[in-house]
Amino acid sequence: MLKRVFDRKQQDELTAPGSGLRGPKVPRHSGAWDVLRKRLAAEPGLRILDVGYTSPTNINYLTSLGHSIYLADLVHDAWVENWQTGVDEDGNGVWNVSGYLDFSLNLTGRTFDVVLLWTALDYLPDALVKPVVDRLHEAMNPGGEVLALFHTRMDGEETAHCRYHVTEGSDMDMQLTEPFPIRRVFTNRSIERLFSNWSAHKQFLARDSVSEVIIKR
């Protein structure tokens, strides 16, 4: 469900022990975040959509730069709120796509300059991936940017579902959250097809099994 951040103290209380974040934060270098944070530092007053469980770290840092932040936990909402209505003849899940979008991305006319999408597309049900990308396309201002991460393999510790926290430097911190299993791996070609309506894509090399992309509206 889309949430506006009004009260930083209230949001801090939402992430008390047992809240959905588990274990220590683990840093990883991010070329994409390094590029995006320079824009965020230079252009105050942007509207940002941060995808995932509430991160006080992200709220504190981004609001300190003068930005407005909205939160949407797309993966949690997809799997916990029971949007699957059945199974088709091929055994694929049938999903209430419009209901899910209205619940998780009910933007009510808001538009965004930056979306921190992280790895959400790797964990969503198949039927919801393209509708989410299309809804974000509609909700982005011209020149708006999406920071997305994509796993390059289906197994291993690095496929664990994590929350990403921003930092003041070129690292982002990873922290375990709800244990939803990875659903797919995107190739460079499949990423390009998925975001074919967008104007530009910039990919960044990473040393781990996660690729990084900034997609421009």
What CATH number is given to the structural domain containing 155?
Answer: 3.40.50.150
Q: How far apart are CA 38 and CA 41, in angstroms?
A: 5
127-151 pLDDT, tens digit each: 999 999 999 999 999 999 999 999 9
Q: Which of 120, 119, 117, 125 is nearest to 198 (CA)?
A: 117
The values of phi and psi at residue 50, to 5°, are -110, 120
Could you give the number of structural domains in the chain?
1
Q: Which of 183, 160, 30 is nearest to 92 (CA)?
A: 183
pLDDT, position 14:
36
pLDDT, position 29:
94
pLDDT, position 89:
83
62-100 pLDDT, tens digit each: 999 999 999 999 999 999 988 999 988 888 889 999 999
Structure tokens that stand for 32 in this block: 């994409």
pLDDT, position 4:
59
CB 117 within 8 A of CB 217: no
Q: Which residues 6+ apart lie within 8 Å of 187 measured at CB?
A: none
pLDDT, position 205:
80
CB atoms within 10 A of CB 4: 9
Question: DSSP readout, 34-84?
Answer: HHHHHHHHHS-S-EEEEESS--HHHHHHHHHTT-EEEEE-HHHHHHHTT-E
The ranges of the chain with pLDDT < 70 are: 2-19
Q: Residue ranges of the alpha helices (H) in the chain?
A: 8-14, 31-42, 56-64, 74-80, 97-104, 120-123, 126-139, 188-194
pLDDT, position 206:
76
Supply the pTM of this predicted model: 0.90
Give the domain extent around 178: 3-216
Which amino acid makes up residue 140?
M
